[in-house]
Amino acid sequence: MKKLLFIILLIVSLAGLCFAQGGVKKKRPKPHEYGKVTLNNYATKVGIAPVEFDHWTHRGKFTCRLCHVDIGFSMKTGETQIKAADNMRGYFCGTCHNDKMSFEGRRVFAACSKEFTKGDVKRCERCHAAAPNPTKETDFYKFAERLPKERFGNGIDWEKAEETGLIKPVDFLEGVSIKRAPMAAQKDFYIGSKIEGMPDIIFSHKKHTVWNGCELCHPEIFVGVKKGATKYSMIELFDRKYCGVCHDTVAFPQIDCQRCHTKPL
């Protein structure tokens, strides 16, 4: 009996080990959910719902660089540790969401306020979502229907949308951004593929600097500015390092191999 029990436990353990080594296929988010991050450093501790931030709501209006460099949001979810007091002082979300700034002819609602009334509940729920908001889902598909399509991510080809002028992301915020002469983008270069039959990567600085500038990637994500100075592997990329900091989270996912591996064989 003991021998049989030992054999059963051994089989179960080996099966568990196989699953652990083989990994589990991740569920692909729906287009309107791609790029969503949940911010919950403090919310539930004080009895309110976490903030559900959808990148698409801002990506059509602002560059990544403006928010993650000039305003100061970390590239890692929750790392900024935003408090309501920060927003009320005009930092982070409160940089724009202050009930004073206007954008596209509309006043931007205040993210947080010291005085709270029953009428403020709907304003709070615009960010602190206790349940999925069907209106936001509808708004996404209405927004996306006029933009060029892509296979993965949230189904929008943001690069082409910007190139054709369908969206014009703002990269300067008065009183926050520093006026500076634009830096010349480096020429495209090849990154050799390590798999036989897979085309080399053609990396375009120009396409990236439109959204990121130089300082979003260098030196925090890529330490060197010289080709080949930073060594990395696909395993690290899929672990959300280097290119994976943005791709798989907000920018198009890395399963779309043909977006990067484009050099003709």
Query: Mean pLDDT of all residues in the chain?
Result: 89
- Name 35's Cβ contacts closer than 8 Å, sequence gap at least 6: 54, 55, 56, 59, 153, 154, 249, 250
- The span from the CA of 72 to the CA of 21, in Å, is 38
Q: Tell me the residue type at 24.
A: V
Q: Which domains does the chain have, with CATH numbers?
A: 31-144 (3.90.10.10), 181-265 (3.90.10.10)
For position 173, what pLDDT does the model report?
A: 96
Q: Any idea which of 12-21, 130-139, 167-176 has the lowest mean pLDDT?
A: 12-21
First-last CA distance in the chain = 62
- Name 177's Cβ contacts closer than 8 Å, sequence gap at least 6: 66, 70, 171
pLDDT digits (tens, 9 = 90+) for 5-38: 434 433 444 344 344 445 667 788 999 999 999 9
